[in-house]
Amino acid sequence: MKTSFTFSLFTFFCVTSLSLTAQADMISEGKALHDKNCMGCHQAEMYKRDNRKVKTLAYLGTSVENCNTQLGTGWFPEDVQAVTQYLNATYYKLK
């Protein structure tokens, strides 16, 4: 019983730290994609302006997708997701 508890705790920590690493990777990948492709029309000020339009995480995803479509980058959904995560972690901080 005790062994199996210790084991599940161990598994829990492994899985948790793995997913944290995966998220950190995603954010840095998102930053790279963003900085390379997205600074043509607006700077980061766009995400910090007082009357910014994005108020929810879902709408942030939509905005990234919309600008991405205008740009015609051919990103995969994972790329859109990574950039969304990056912008959220850095500027929007939405739940």
> Tokens for 90?
């850095």
- Residue 5, classed as helix, strand or coil, is helix
- Residues between 41 and 80 with contacts to ligand HEC, criterion CB under 6 A: 41-42, 46-47, 52-54, 60, 63-64, 67-68, 70-71
Instruction: Tell me whether residue 53 or residue 93 sits nearer to ligand HEC (CB atom).
Output: 53
Comparing CA positions, the residue from 87, 40, 30, 41 lying closest to residue 60 is: 87
Three-state secondary structure of 21-45: HHHHHHHHHHHHHHHHHCCCCCCCH
**Would you count residue 88 as binding ligand HEC (CB under 6 A)?**
no
- Of the candidate spans 1-9, 14-22, 38-46, the one that interacts with ligand HEC by CB under 6 A turns out to be 38-46
Q: How many residues does the chain have?
A: 95
Tell me, by CB under 6 A, how many residues bind ligand HEC.
20
- Of the candidate spans 4-12, 20-28, 32-40, the one that interacts with ligand HEC by CB under 6 A turns out to be 32-40
DSSP label at residue 56: S
Q: Which residues of this protein are in contact with ligand HEC, per CB under 6 A?
A: 34, 37-38, 40-42, 46-47, 52-54, 60, 63-64, 67-68, 70-71, 83, 87
